[in-house]
Amino acid sequence: MLILGLETSCDETGVALYESERGLLAHALHSQVELHAEYGGVVPELASRDHVRKILPLLREVCRQAAVAPSQIDGVAYTRGPGLIGALLVGAAIGRSLAWAWQVPVIGVHHMEGHLLAPMLEPNPPKFPFVALLVSGGHSLLVDVQGIGRYRILGESIDDAAGEAFDKTAKLLGLPYPGGPALAKLAEQGDPQRFRFPRPMTDRPGCDFSFSGLKTAAINTWRALESSPENRADVARAFEEAVVETLAIKCRRALHATGLKRLVVAGGVGANRRLRERLWELAAELGGQVYYPRLEFCTDNGAMIAYAGWRRLAAGQGEDAAIEVMPRWPLDSLLAA
Ligand code: KG4
Ligand code: ZN
């Protein structure tokens, strides 16, 4: 079964071809970073217009890379939500129209399900059940994953998502958009001992997160130092350490509460080097295993959507021709497959 995957939920147009026997055949991505950079963040209307421009050229490119003709495609998967509504509508309209023209089934995929299944694209994929830490620009979730669509939320952010906290703190420190990777890069030069920020909500039970206070701690510290650039890397490092340590503490709790040994980490913040190192250490200490997607599949991409779509289409799920997206869509409301 050959599946076309389309990702257009935010500021990346991702297109991929996944084949059930041979795995991922091709993938292509267009990042809108340059388009939004001058505004310091994603401008939804510009995002939608750019998806419209890029999606079909990217489709042509993946067909060429994989030496596949559109007539060989057996199904289409697109990101149905959550995300920016105009951006989602581009993938939904094009995905469903292609499926109708090609007379093949189509499925709308949950973006976070795509992220949490992304490690399945790697050579040593995790087996169910596992705990998933999903940390992106819009969500921070700890999920007990028993199978496809069998998700129990163990904890989530009560305010900013982890990626959002990275982005906002980076902006306050005067770093360019996109802030998360820029802050992480700067933090590499910082002294981890100089400042210590709180580990929010670790003093009470449970797996929920709160990150907005850390942003405030970082900015107050930096302003107290009169915003001098030579202190910026140390502040960035303290912020990153606090986020990483908080996530590690909550992962430990989630593994303990579920009795599971496998931890999957996905979403854009999963690309953070310090977080990856820290969770390797945690897994080693607990005698467990941690699974990540390759770096380029931590952030948004079409491959994870093609894969998740294949799992659902192979289970006989699919949709009729009406076009609908879900800008808000709770992960624990999905059907099992
Ligand atoms: O999953 P993703 O590509 O898009 C969403 O679904 O939101 O995640 C993007 C988020 C952004 O907030 C970005 O700043 C963050 O992931 N991010 C990072 C790093 N790379 C991306 N945060 C910290 N360190 C990184 N290396
Ligand atoms: Zn994402």
Whether 106 and 242 share a structural domain: no
pLDDT at 282: 98
Residues 317 and 277 in one domain: no
Statement to judge: residues 60 and 172 lie in one domain: no
**pLDDT tens, position by position, 79-126:** 999 999 999 999 999 999 999 999 999 999 999 999 999 999 999 999
Contacts for 107 with CB less than 8 Å, ≥ 6 apart: 75, 76, 77, 78, 309, 312, 313, 317, 318, 319
Q: Any known ligand binding at 111?
A: yes
Span 172-219, pLDDT tens digits: 999 998 899 999 999 999 999 999 999 999 999 999 999 999 999 999
Q: Which residues surround ligand 2, an ion (CB under 5 A)?
A: 136, 300
Nearest CA-CA partner of 266 in 135, 122, 123, 127 = 135
Mean pLDDT of 205-234: 92
Q: What is the mean pLDDT of residues 262-287?
A: 97
138 is in an annotated binding site: yes
Question: pLDDT by residue (tens digit) across 279-314?
Answer: 999 999 999 999 999 999 999 999 999 999 999 999
Q: Are residues 288 and 169 in the same domain?
A: yes
**Does residue 304 form part of some domain?**
yes
Query: What is the CA(164)–ligand 1 centre distance, in A?
Result: 8
What is the Å distance from ligand 2's center to 141 Cα?
Answer: 12
Assigned domain for 48 exists? yes
**Domain CATH for 174:** 3.30.420.40
Quickly count: other Cβ atoms within 10 Å of residue 234's Cβ: 21
Share of the chain above pLDDT 90, in %: 93
167 is in an annotated binding site: yes
Atom of ligand 1 nearest to the CA of 170: 14
Q: Cα(first)–Cα(last) distance of the chain, in Å?
A: 17
Residue nearest to atom 3 of ligand 1 (CA): 299
255 and 311 in a common domain? no
Q: How many domains does the chain have?
A: 2
Non-local CB neighbours of 295 within 8 Å, separated by 6+ positions:
271
Same domain, 112 and 133: no
The stretch 221-240 carries a mean pLDDT of 92
For a mutational test of ligand 1's pocket, the pick from 84, 134, 135, 166, i.e. the residue with the most ligand atoms closer than 8 A to its C-beta, is 166
The whole domain housing 54 covers 2-117+297-333
Q: What pLDDT does residue 321 have? A: 67
**CA-161 nearest atom, ligand 1:** 12
Q: How far is the CA of 316 from the centre of ligand 1 (A)?
A: 33
pLDDT-derived band at 229 (thresholds 50, 70, 90) equals confident
For residue 267, give the ligand 1 atom closest to its CA: 1
What's the 304 CA to ligand 2 centre distance in angstroms?
A: 10
Give yes or no: residues 110 and 167 share one domain: no
User: What CA–CA distance (Å, rounded) separates 279 from 271?
Assistant: 12
147-152 average pLDDT score: 97
Asked if residue 93 belongs to a domain, the reply is yes
Is residue 282 domain-resident? yes
Taking the CA of 162 as reference, the closest ligand is 1
Whether 71 shows a pLDDT value over 70: the answer reads yes
For residue range 12-52, list pLDDT tens digits in order.
999 999 999 999 999 999 999 999 999 989 999 999 999 99
Same domain? For 176 and 283 the reply is: yes
Same-domain check for residues 22 and 139: no
Q: Which atom of ligand 1 is nearest to the CA of 300?
A: 3
Please give all residues whose beta carbon lies within 6 A of any atom in ligand 1, as ranges: 10, 136-138, 163-164, 166-167, 178-181, 184, 267-269, 271-272, 299-300
Residue 187 falls inside a structural domain? yes
In this structure, the answer to whether residues 259 and 137 fall within a common structural domain is yes
Residue 247 Cα to ligand 1 midpoint, Å, equals 15
Which pLDDT belongs to residue 80? 97
Q: Ligand 2 centroid vs 77 CA: distance in angstroms? A: 16
Report yes or no on 241 lying in a domain: yes
Ligand nearest to the CA of 267: 1
Q: What is the reported pLDDT for 54?
A: 98
Q: Which of 10, 136, 244, 292 to mutate to test the pocket of ligand 1 (most atoms within 8 A of CB)?
A: 136
pLDDT in the model for residue 161: 96
Q: Given the CA of residue 178, which atom of ligand 1 is nearest to it? A: 14
**Are 97 and 172 in the same domain?**
no
Answer yes or no: is 122 within a domain: no
Calculate how far, in angstroms, residue 135's C-alpha sits from the geometric centre of ligand 2: 9
Q: Are residues 158 and 103 in the same domain?
A: no
Ligand nearest to the CA of 266: 1
